[in-house]
Amino acid sequence: MHRTWHPADMLHLSPLSSSRLVRVIETRRRNLVYFWHTHEKGGYIVISVLGAVLSAFGLFVHFSIAGNDYSQDVRERTQDLNCLTKNIYHEARGEPIDGQYAVAEVTMNRVASKHYPNTVCSVVFQENFDVIRKRNVSAFSWTEIDTVGPIDRKIWNRAWKIAEEVYDEQAERRADGALFYHSKYIRPRWSRGKRRIAKIGRHIFY
């Protein structure tokens, strides 16, 4: 399940290795404290100081790794949303709002399906070999166009908002479970026998 990350989440992103390191150092620190209270203290001041330094260093490593993981998650999320927004924009910007949500749903449904790549950008830019045309054909036709023209910023921003809602599973379903769609003006061979889920605007979803 996808969700929106906030800065506070950084504290919850620690990998297992860093957590284990902190636990080990904390255990050593507690042992040193116990040793301090049960033995003569003269020769053990250095040991106690060393223990405190090790604890501080362990926490530094712990949160440094967590911060790096958080940054990586932010980069991946931004990349995913950028690809999803492009697909909504180029495939459905002239469609009703529900139709734009439905295109985003199809994209994310493919990411979740075992029959498609498992990242948003890989799904959007997927190519398969067409035996009839004897060449690779893109899953979404706009990705085959070299120049897609200037971006309308207002429409792009709306598409980004739709992308965020669908990506974070906060949107109402418009074409629940759909993996395919095509223009209502054609009837491709692959659509025969597939269960029709919805017709929104100029697209039919299966």
Could you read off the pLDDT of 5-52 as tens digits, one per residue?
433 333 333 344 445 555 656 666 666 666 556 655 555 555 555 556
Supply the pTM of this predicted model: 0.67
pLDDT band at 200 (very low <50, low <70, confident <90, very high): very high
CB 102 within 8 A of CB 181: yes
Bridge partners (DSSP) listed for residue 200:
203
Query: Could you count the other beta carbons within 10 Å of the beta carbon of residue 86?
Result: 23
- Chain centre distance of CA 194: 29
3-state DSSP assignment of residue 57 = helix
Q: Tell me: the pLDDT tens digits for 102-126?
A: 999 999 999 999 999 999 999 999 9
Q: What is the pLDDT of residue 35?
A: 58
Helices (H), 93-170: 97-112, 120-124, 153-167
Q: What is the pLDDT of residue 139?
A: 94
CB 203 within 8 A of CB 182: yes
